[in-house]
Amino acid sequence: MANIAKAFIGLTGQEITDLILDWSGDVPAAESIHLEGPAVETDHNAFLKESRGHAPGDVTDVKLEDGKLTVSVEPSTNRYDWTLVIGDKKFARADFDVQTRTADDKFARIEEGRVMYRLYSPEASTPRPMILFLHGGGNGGHEGERDNNKSIVTDYGPVNFAEDYPDIYVMAPMAVEQKMDPSKMNVNAKFAGTSLGTDPRYGWSRYYLGLVCDIIRRMIKEGKVDPKRIYVTGMSMGGGGTIRAMSVGSDLFAAAVPVCPTMTPETFSILKSIRRPVWVTSAYIDHTLYRHKYLVDAIMSARDNGNNNAHLTLFSPEDLEKYDISITPGLPYPTLFRQNHWSWVPTYKNEYGIMSWLLNQVKED
């Protein structure tokens, strides 16, 4: 495929910055070029355009060199479809080979038994710390359709860890998920009635997390990973998996940061009795409306039981607005709650020093 889209992992996940095409003739005027489609035609972008004068997808530069036309745009999400329009010519997203900085060249693709994962390895001759990252629901794969690319490029997270902390290992396994219609999911199903995470074949089950932990233990034996500085974090389904991992690998992890974790009777029970350092984050409200009651109760219980290194942060509207989350005026409540779910962005951007805290924890036993 001749056309290339250069990308990096930004606040919305994989974001396009440069579109490169074979081109004959003169360089087209910037005014004749634009992006169209669901990726850019949003109320959010319209608000940014009106309030700031620019928005994701705006053309910032056009140049022609050696028969290659490069169209640079303000970083624009690749989460949804887009089309590059140049005069009367149109080039769809499918016409481009997306190349993602760091994700493509520094994260090895590895499969060990049932576990498929991506691994960033630092240049080091001594054991180094590790972050285990557990992706959220919808970012894994299905039996027979397994791929471990979506889990690292869909959201801000593991690729950014490798860029921000190049001296540590970053392991990002892929969970196998059941096929389901997201529009029919009831995220506010009764707390006591949910069975999420209990089927060993799917998601971040205890069985699957045990396999992941065994790989980490092997890397410790090989002298690659520092056994005192192994950390686990994840969002949503992966946040619930993070809590579960602290039970499955209770001897392994120095600390955990579960982000907007799926709360079930199992994860609630683990979290309220946890003894290791833990810092839970979520938004002041998000699409699972009962989440906060159980997060507050669990962390209060952990602290009452003597864990003074158990913390909870519920990001305020002002915290989220710093990262352009839920800033569009008049959002309907379902949309507001869904956008607020992106609390991993301020978390992984080290709001309140959360990531600094995580990487400073050292397991003493």
The residue out of 64, 83, 99 marking a domain boundary is 99
Decide if 145 is inside a domain: yes
Please state the domain count of the chain: 2
More confident residue, 15 or 364: 15
User: Is 144 a residue whose pLDDT tops 80?
Assistant: no
Quote the radius of gyration of the chain (alpha carbons, Å): 21
DSSP string, 69-138: EEEEEEEEESSS--EEEETTEEEEGGGSEEEETTHHHHEEEEEETTEEEEEE--S-SS-EEEEEEEPPTT
Q: Which CATH number belongs to the domain containing residue 172 in this structure?
A: 3.40.50.1820
Banded model confidence at residue 103, pLDDT cuts 50, 70, 90: very high
Verify that 164 and 31 share a domain, yes or no: no
Residues 47 and 117 in one domain: no
pLDDT grade, residue 177 (50/70/90)?
A: confident
Where does the pLDDT of residue 241 fall: very low under 50, low under 70, confident under 90, or very high at 90 and above?
Answer: very high
Identify the pLDDT of residue 155. 96
**Average pLDDT of the segment spanning 308-326:** 97
pLDDT band at residue 176 under the 50/70/90 scheme:
confident
Whether 342 and 321 map to the same domain: the answer is: yes
Q: Of 99, 121, 154, which residue is a domain's last?
A: 99
Residues 200 and 235 in one domain: yes
Averaged pLDDT for residues 150-172: 97
- Which run of H or E residues covers position 14? strand 13-22
- The verdict on residue 364 lying in a domain is no
* 58 and 122 belong to one structural domain: no
Task: Return the pLDDT at 139.
Answer: 87
Q: Which residues of 29-59 are buried (b: 16+ CB within 10 A; e: fewer)?
A: eeeebbbebebbebebbebbeeeeeebbbbb
Percentage above 70 pLDDT, the chain? 93
68 and 112 in a single domain? The answer is no
Shared domain check, 148 and 13 = no
Same domain? For 111 and 212 the reply is: yes
pLDDT of residue 48: 97
| Confidence label for 179 from pLDDT (cuts 50, 70 and 90) | confident
pLDDT digits (tens, 9 = 90+) for 188-212: 666 655 555 567 778 899 999 999 9
Residues 55 and 200 placed together within one structural domain of the fold: no
Does one domain contain both 355 and 206? yes
Q: pLDDT value at position 200?
A: 72
Q: Does 110 share its domain with 95? A: no
Strand 255-259 and strand 89-92: pairing?
unpaired
Is 365 contained in some domain? no
Note the pLDDT of residue 180: 64
Q: Are 255 and 361 in contact (CB under 8 A)?
A: yes
Instruction: Quote the pLDDT of residue 141.
Output: 77
pLDDT tens-digit series, residues 4-51? 999 999 999 999 999 999 999 899 999 999 999 999 999 999 999 999
The residue segments making up the domain with residue 11 are: 4-99
What would the mean pLDDT of 102-109 be, rounded to a whole number?
A: 96
Average pLDDT over residues 225-247: 97
Taking the C-alpha atoms of residue 135 and residue 326, their distance in angstroms, rounded to an integer, is 22
Position 183 scores a pLDDT of: 59
How confident is the model at residue 1, as a pLDDT? 55
* Spatial CA neighbour of 176 closest among 131, 113, 232, 121: 113
Same domain, 145 and 72: no
Residue that terminates a domain, selected from 99, 126, 142: 99
